[in-house]
Structure 1
Amino acid sequence: MEPADFVWAEAFEVEIHHGFVGANTAAAGHLAPQVILNRDGRTVEHTLVEELKRSEGFTFSVAFVSAGAIAQLKQHLLDFRGAGTIVTSDYLGFNAPEAFAELLNLKRRRGIDVRIHTSDNFHPKGYIFTQPRNVTAMVGSSNLTNGALSENYEWNLKVSAAHDS
């Protein structure tokens, strides 16, 4: 184990202990578990942008996508240099043709893998980010829509785990 690995592992342990065992442990880093509600300055949009900045890969799996939400995140997605996948659906006919067009535009311009699930009941809301030493997931109530990014009262849990856990 390299010295940098030891420091990282120690910091990771402090944040996990703070998030899952007791809040008395001081932890201020991005690896500590968080509930993202679109309140108190902690929005889904901010969380997605920050995780994209530190990640080398991502997978979004959401039932609903809006063209407006893609527009809000577009520059961050275009600037992303890792591998990305967005899985969505035709569930309930919610996603407008404009949303699919925006997704295909991301595929053409940036090479983001776009997949359309055709199940009658595809309804997940999950975001996974692969980082050099860990994986971070945010799961909960947020689709990839304008309201879900910053306005709606949402309920999401963001957690991280080391690759070997």
Structure 2
Amino acid sequence: MTDLTHHIDKAKSFCFLVAFITTEGINLLKTHLFDFSQRNVHGKIIISSYLGFNQPATMRELLKFSNVSVRLAPDNKNIHAKFFLFEHEKEHVLIVGSSNLTKNGL
């Protein structure tokens, strides 16, 4: 998780695409997302409806951050990708892997 939080902490913007999220996973990132919001920068999280795993309450937790857009991918896409794209001052960083925004994944 240190790579992910490190990049959130210095990003000008970010975009995540994940299949699964959990409240426990979001709780691990809350401090970093709060600090991100204090810098008045914007992020986007796209979540899949794959296997009906994600719970609306978890998505509502993310919506508490006014600078983070949360979108649900169309049902017919069954997206199972996981990527984390960060825009920094002089570079872009893309992390591609098998981890979701879950406690075990992070």
Match of 2:61 in 1: 102
Q: Aligned to 1:95, what secondary structure does the other structure show?
A: coil
The reply to whether residue 50 of structure 1 matches residue 9 of structure 2 is: no
The reply to whether residue 92 of structure 1 matches residue 48 of structure 2 is: no
TM-fit CA distance, 1:86: 0.6
Is the contact made by 1:91 and 1:118 (CA closer than 8 Å) also made in structure 2?
no
CA distance in 1, matches of 2:56, 2:88: 32
Q: Which structure 1 segments of 5+ residues have no match?
A: 1-44, 150-165
Moved over 4 A (4+): none
Is the contact made by 1:49 and 1:73 (CA closer than 8 Å) also made in structure 2?
yes
Q: Aligned to 1:146, what secondary structure does the other structure show?
A: coil
Please give the per-residue CA displacement for 1:8-61, whole angstroms capped at 9, x wherever unaligned.
Answer: xxxxxxxxxxxxxxxxxxxxxxxxxxxxxxxxxxxxx11111011221110111
Is the contact made by 1:87 and 1:114 (CA closer than 8 Å) also made in structure 2?
yes
Match of 1:17 in 2: none
CA radius of gyration, larger in? 1
- Normalised to the residue count of structure 1, the TM-score between the two structures is 0.59
CA distance in 2, matches of 1:84, 1:90: 20
What RMSD, in angstroms, separates the aligned Cα atoms of the two structures?
A: 1.2
CA distance in 1, matches of 2:48, 2:87: 23
The reply to whether residue 74 of structure 1 matches residue 58 of structure 2 is: no
CA distance in 1, matches of 2:49, 2:63: 15
Q: Which structure 2 segments of 5+ residues have no match?
A: none
CA distance in 2, matches of 1:88, 1:56: 21
CA distance in 1, matches of 2:10, 2:26: 19
Seq. identity, %: 39
- Name which structure has the greater RCO, CA cutoff 8 Å, separation 6+: 2
The reply to whether residue 132 of structure 1 matches residue 93 of structure 2 is: no
- Normalised to the residue count of structure 2, the TM-score between the two structures is 0.89
Partner amino acid, structure 2, of 1:50? H
